[in-house]
Structure 1
Amino acid sequence: MNIRIGVACAALAGALAGCAQQPVQTSAPDLLTLDTHVDIPLDYMREPRYDVGGDSALKVDLGKMERGGLDGAFFIIYVGQGPLTEAGYADAVAQAERKYSAIALMLEKYPDRIRLATTPTQIRENQAHGLLSAMIGIENPYSLGHDLSRLDTAHARGARYVGLTHVGNNAVCSSANPDTEAGEPAHNSAQDPGMSEFGRALVARANALGMMVDVSHASDKCVLDAIAASRAPVFASHSSARGLVDVPRNLPDDLLRAIADDGGVVQAVAYYEFVKHDPARQAAEKALQQEIAREAGAGEFDWDVHGELPALAAGMARIEREHPLATLQEYVDHIDYMVELVGIDHVGIASDFDGGGEVTGWMDASESPNVTAELRKRGYSDSDIARLWGGNLLRVWQAAGDAADAGPGAP
């Protein structure tokens, strides 16, 4: 979601520390734990506070991963949706390049702690050698600049999944959150376009490269179009259950079943607004942002300009007291719901850390053992937990590679 939300909330860590549980040590040190969605800021690794080798301002850095036993994460090449123009695409490509180079800088600076993983086998090898794994995912192919050849370039740089859209429609498909104020058709309306021909070409190229196709953020129609277009199972990198919290970004029961029937996996996301319906908190946050913008003499709130003001931190602390975050228990309710609906083999785990993801009890990567402990408390076996934390994702990733090896038209 929004990296600036995560960074702003990180400033409250001291004030909110009492709200979070201490990590619980698990009895399965060989458990492979993977997070499929971790955002990074534009200044990742370039500003000292974003240098992940030390005690950074981020929810996911190497120390927090090591303390929490998080073996690997997909670091995200995210670019917000902008105009479908030559200038818009050029800016998106430049932003993406800054993030690719930042991930490369991390890998160059800390090779004794974290290595790139571009296959499921490499993740296992890194774990065996006591190393963390960095994977790369693309959120919003707007960053490809409407040029399919850039997907090949992204693959060569290590990207192993491509999300189809973000907030607002793009040239690939319609979004679960279209920009209706700009005239885009409402989600699930008769005019919702779903996937474009360019989108189908993108999916075909991802299949040929062995990249996973990510349907999080896509409209319901686009999800179905993606399943139909892809030769490999699709997955949702960070989406929870609409049956529990009715927001467009969560997946309804029919799409959860469709993804499972296709052999895919849905990574339940710990983004608080998707875990717990709390319109009062949303209204309070919006009012706070408007107040800060007004006091700053700005026409509207801008995270880049106002995101780290002391007034925002103080206001968010007040909101947290009055409207507490969703809890880890409420998050695991979404896992329970999806497992009961589609089976243990089609559900996984994602944080959306540093993009707004956080629930009380799982506030950063160091608290990842709490997720395992809560799953075990609810009766999940070690085998079940291994599937949820990474096994199911690796199966889908392997299936994407197998489909690429088989080639078009293979049974």
Structure 2
Amino acid sequence: MVRANNGYQPKVLILYASYGEGHLQAAKAIRDALEEAGNNRTVMVDLMAESHPWLNEMTRRVYLKSYTHIPHLYGWVYDVTRPMKHNSLFGGFLHSFGRDKIKKLLQKEQPDAVIHTFPFFALPALHRRRLSKTIHPGATIPSYTVITDFDLHRRWVHPGIGRYFVATDDLKQELGSLGIHPGRVSVTGIPLGRGFQSSLTPSFELFEKYGLHPEKPVILLMPGAQGVMPDCDELCRLLLEQHPHAQIALVCGRNSLLRTSIADQFRYHPSADRLHLFGFVDQVHELMSLATCLVSKPGGVTLAEAIWAGLPLFLYRPVPGQEKKNARYLQSKGAATISYDPEGLATSIIELIRNPDQLQRSKIAVQRLQKEEAAAGSIAHHILQECGWNAKFGQRYS
């Protein structure tokens, strides 16, 4: 039976972290999807930043430095901790961060559901310690987690999580092998921003907007939000020299030094008119819809965006850890090629765009990973439904 909700909407608390862009992007995508479903009571909190600001800034810098300067150390730590359990000494330590902040948030916000896009599981840890009744009288608060990679680190697994939203059927099976009931796992894909909620047909106007020719192949280079990918200049030079018509769209993100450096190096290059430089692009889904293939770092959200666009992927020198795991997974599905030197990378790209049959096979492999519905909308629907909210009619089930 359905009854009028008298203006009531479930309040949803989304907890994220600022270690990389993906976790925040996923949180924003879910918030936007909840709003589009008619629910406007979403609170987003960077749990580590608000509970331990000094420690958050220090660990975030260490993470970024280790990720770029000593990646093998980062990869070693990732692999060593990958099988850890929630109740191990280190696992319990990690999930203790933000516990006091969570108590205050629950008292202040009284949320009906909590979503995690980063595995700081202070709330599920509290529930397991049977402390929640003193914070939120009655039943425990439903907790959800959105895994933002194609690889499963055991840090994401906690018995206090009610439902997992994952990118692939393989992740669902892996969670099942760890004792998570299949009914608690939804294969939705990784949530993406509003521009990725529906397909986009390339138009002449869209090519014109970005200064690209609609009848020439477009190689999209995305080093990441911070614009950090080695050998960008050498790769651009090789691609321009090896293909007489290929266009390069290089998205430098927030790295203004990279954009300036590339612009200076290619100022007098005979094919400079085929090299298009961009800073941070808000409507990146538009560029993806125009591209023939994508060269990028294998972050989970970027890969999910490329899958949405049906783009064959070239992943350059993936960093040990979740990036290398992501890259190997997509390579195993025939959707990506991994390269470690600019010459080999350029050769692989040129071979693909010169071979229509190979290009079509690559696109089909990517399309096999696509989901029928937008992940963010599907996640919002699941959560609102489990909160008893009928988004279509603005009503709550009794």
TM-score by length of 1: 0.32
Higher RCO by CA contacts (8 Å cutoff, separation 6 or greater): 1
TM-score by length of 2: 0.33
Larger-gyration structure (1/2)? 2
